[in-house]
Structure 1
Amino acid sequence: MLRVAILGATGAVGQTFVRLLSGHPLFEIVSLVASERSAGKPYREAAHWIQSEPLDDRIGDLVVEGIDAAPDADLAFSGLDASVAGEVEADWARRGYAVVSNARNYRMDPTVPLLIPEVNADHIALIDRQDWRGADGQPSGGFIVTNPNCSTVGLVMALKPLHDAFGVEAAHVVTMQALSGAGYPGVASLDALGNVVPYIGGEEDKLTTETRKLLGTLGSTGEVVEAEAVVSAQCNRVPVMDGHMEAVSVRLVGSPSAADVADALRSWESPLAGRGLPTAPATPLLVTDDPTAPQPRTHVHLGGGMTVTVGRIQDCPVLGVKFVVLSHNTVRGAAGGAILNAELLHAEGRLGRRADAA
């Protein structure tokens, strides 16, 4: 078992890490890290538990540590807010930890993998370009790996098979994003109930930039050569608990029909198949013919929240083809995606180095 710390453990994403890692066959939680106001308290007292499953008693008894903690751990999952994640994650990397982050701070760093294992597992090689050094000036062995923004994940999972089969030239996406994406306490009830908020700060830029990096390839000198696809995004907060839905129109090389696109999506095979990664769903991309699907209430929890569902594939008179995508924003788009990243790192022999060096 690899020993793990969770940074930002009391927040919504941190709690999802705790829930998903309970009973995990590879990872054991040994340290819960949060702000100084929570440090020193048992986790059950420090965290306002909002998950759908009861808190594990062993985890509830763990005493929360401050951000300068130095646990005997092989890696750290970060659910920190972006306002503090940059400095804290860098400090942990300098001290030799593998940091698997959900925060945005290092996603576009040219030396940091922005990773969806089914999409760009080869980008793990960027780790070798990182140079985190400890207080003694020597390489620490630590590194940072990130997962994308919660709205980017669903879009890119749907675009990847199409980019491989045809080539993506341009995409327009309108998101309908769940309230849980705003964390806790999140959007005020009087702003959310019976309403749609057509603005989520920074979200549209993330969809544009992260998509190009994720669909990019590794160049001859090891850098990411971003895809040339043009992405335009409009993001909305809607009164749904979990599940980001996206209406996508896409222009593909060769102008394939909606039937061609549906065939490409259905025939796509995950490169993770057969690798035995515990969080990898048996069906990472589900295509449905139901004209009323996908819907958050009936589809968002498929594959334990790790399956992305695509439906309503149609010809589009503007860009060529259009469809609807649904993904679980706090599982596939946050903690679950980060855990899958760590499982892939373990399978590639990238974890356990700190413990080995000690």
Structure 2
Amino acid sequence: MINVGVLGATGAVGQRFVELLADHPWFKLTTLAASDRSAGKPYGKIVKWRLDTPFPENIGKIKVVPTSPSAMKNVDLVFSALPADIATATETEFADAGIAVCSNASSHRMEPTIPLVVPEVNPEHLGLIDVQKDTGRDGFIVTNPNCSTIMMVTALAPLRKFKFTDIRVATMQAISGAGFEGVAAMAIYDNVIPYIGKEEEKMETEALKIMGTLKGKKVVNAPFKVSASCHRVPVIDGHTMAVWADIKEPLAKIRKAYMDYKPPIKGLPTQPAESVHFFDEEPDRPQPRLDRMRGRGMTVSVGRLREGVRFVAMGHNTIRGAAGASVLNAELIVKKKYL
């Protein structure tokens, strides 16, 4: 078993990390870090558990520690659910102290030597870990993308053999993506908010790095353009998006690509049986309420495939799009023997 910890363990994504790691077959959750005012107290006493799954009682007695490498000396890897402004320096401190970091924060995603990974899409980008280690650093940082970007690139994975230069996407994003206190009730009820800060920029840049090619010590961006329009809607969990790709192949070929799709990796505990579920016959799917927990929240669902190429994609934003993505990355890191 590999000893792991969670940074930012009391927030929305932090709680998802705790949920996924409480009984993980490869990782032993030994350390939880939060704010200084929570340090020294049992996790079960200070966390306001807000997930729709029972609180993992085996974790409740773990005493919370400060968010510093010196307080987490007995862990090999930490999962970061820190806000971006705090994560920038803190994650670097952990990596410099010899601890591996799997981060859900946006701080380091676009740095040239740090992998931005979705295991089903670009597992080879973990090679950038070697570039980090070449600098003399014992630890390293691996990031997962923005939650909406993850849904889009995973939905596009079966289509990578086709030529396209233009991707357009319009998202309908769940309120949980803004955190427990992120969207006021009076702002979102009976409403759609047509703006999410920096979300469009993340989708338009991160996708190019993820679907790019690792050449030597750097990633060459994918040769297409993404145009995004992002919107917050009154759904609790599950980001839905309409995607347009300028693929000229017959629709039958596109459908077959989804039906035949097999991810390039297997054997990871958090990986679902289907990384992409394709709704071929049902014209009104996917839907967040019906499909977000497919594959224990790790499956991206695709439907409404039409000429163009146009389709709808959906996935659970705090599982597949956040904590689950980081845990899957960590499993791939173990499989590739970087720990």
TM range (shorter): over 0.9
Counterpart in the other structure of 1:222:
217
CA distance in structure 1 between the aligned counterparts of 2:49 and 2:3, rounded to whole angstroms? 23
Contact 1:162 1:168 in 2 (8 A): no
Unaligned runs of 5+ in 1: 134-138, 352-358
Match of 2:260 in 1: 267
Per-residue deviation, residues 105-141 of structure 1 (Å, max 9, x unmatched):
11111101100001000000001111597xxxxx341
| Residue of structure 1 in register with 2:101 after alignment | 99
Q: Does 1:251 align with 2:259?
A: no
CA distance in 1, matches of 2:189, 2:23: 36
Structure 2 regions of 5+ residues with no counterpart? none
State the one-letter code of the partner of 1:180.
S
For residues 167 and 264 of structure 1, the distance between their equivalents in structure 2, rounded to whole angstroms, comes to 13
- Whole-Å Cα distance in 2 between the matches of residues 84 and 102 of structure 1? 12
Amino acid in the other structure paired with 2:89: E
Residue type matched to 2:321 in 1? G
> TM-score, length-normalised on structure 1?
0.92
Alpha-carbon separation, structure 1, partners of 2:4 and 2:34: 14
Matched, 1:179 2:175: yes
Q: Which residue of 1 aligns with 2:231?
A: 236
What amino acid is aligned across from residue 295 of structure 2 in structure 1? G
Q: Secondary structure at the match of 1:204?
A: helix
1:282 to 259, 264, 273: 273
Task: Spell out, residue by residue over 1:226-246, the C-alpha distance to the aligned partner (whole angstroms, 9 max, x if none).
Answer: 101110000000000110000
Residues 103, 142 of structure 2: 8 Å contact kept? yes
Partner of 2:332 in structure 1? 344
Q: In 2, are the aligned partners of 1:171 and 1:248 still within 8 Å (CA)? A: yes
Root-mean-square deviation (CA, aligned residues, Å) is 1.2
* Further displaced range: 203-212 or 122-131: 122-131
SS at match of 1:118: coil
Q: Secondary structure at the match of 2:63?
A: coil
C-alpha separation between the residues in 1 aligned to 2:99 and 2:118? Answer: 21
Q: Does the CA contact (< 8 Å) of 2:76 and 2:100 recur in 1?
A: yes
Q: Which moved more, 1:52-61 or 1:23-32?
A: 52-61
Q: CA deviation at 1:83?
A: 1.5
How many residues in Structure 1 have an aligned counterpart in Structure 2?
336
Q: Which residue of 1 aligns with 2:131?
A: 129
1:334 aligns with 2:322: yes
Q: What is the CA-CA distance between 1:58 and the residue it aligns to?
A: 2.7
TM-score, structure 2 as length reference: 0.97
Partner of 1:115: 117
Answering whether residue 289 of structure 2 is matched by residue 297 of structure 1, we say yes
Per-residue CA deviations over 1:287-336 (Å, capped at 9, x if unaligned) read 10200100011111000011111000001xxxx21000001100110000
> Which residue is equivalent to 1:156?
153
